[in-house]
């Protein structure tokens, strides 16, 4: 069945990242926990860096709980934890 829809590039990238991270949450891993990743997070938000949308370095696999910790529930801005990952992946800029 031919299925064509918007964002198929993202879907294949997302799959590649999950595979790279062995389908495990990267944030949980920092604390020695093993949890299945259910999504891929943009370390630098897409609205700030649309050029990094499909950049592997900017993508990490997370579980739903950890992903909720990355973004402020109201503003959607990065939380301290989210910013920590920016630091971790991209360092000082």
Q: Which residues bind Zn ion (CB under 5 A)?
A: 25, 27-28, 35, 63, 66
Q: Other C-beta atoms within 10 Å of 41: how many? A: 21
Which of 5, 31 has the CB closer to Zn ion?
A: 31
Kindly list the distances between the CA atom of residue 38 and the CA atoms of 12, 41, 49, in Å, as whole numbers in the listed order.
Answer: 15, 10, 23
Considering beta carbons, is residue 9 or 33 the nearer one to Zn ion? 33
Measured from the CB of residue 71, what is the shortest distance to Zn ion in angstroms? 14
Residue 81, token pair as written in the block: 């934890």
Q: Which residue has the tokens 């990094």?
A: 52
Residue 24 CB, nearest distance to Zn ion (Å)? 9
Q: How far is the CB of 30 from Zn ion (least distance, A)?
A: 9
């Amino acid at each position: 069945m031919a299925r064509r829809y918007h964002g198929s590039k993202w879907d294949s990238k997302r799959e590649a990242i999950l595979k790279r991270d062995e389908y495990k949450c990267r944030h949980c891993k920092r604390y020695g926990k093993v949890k299945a990743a259910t999504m891929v997070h943009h370390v630098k938000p897409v609205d700030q860096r649309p050029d990094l949308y499909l950049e592997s370095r900017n993508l990490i696999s997370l579980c739903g709980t950890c992903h909720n910790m990355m973004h402020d529930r109201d503003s959607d801005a990065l939380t301290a934890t989210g910013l920590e990952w920016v630091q971790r992946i991209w360092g000082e800029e």
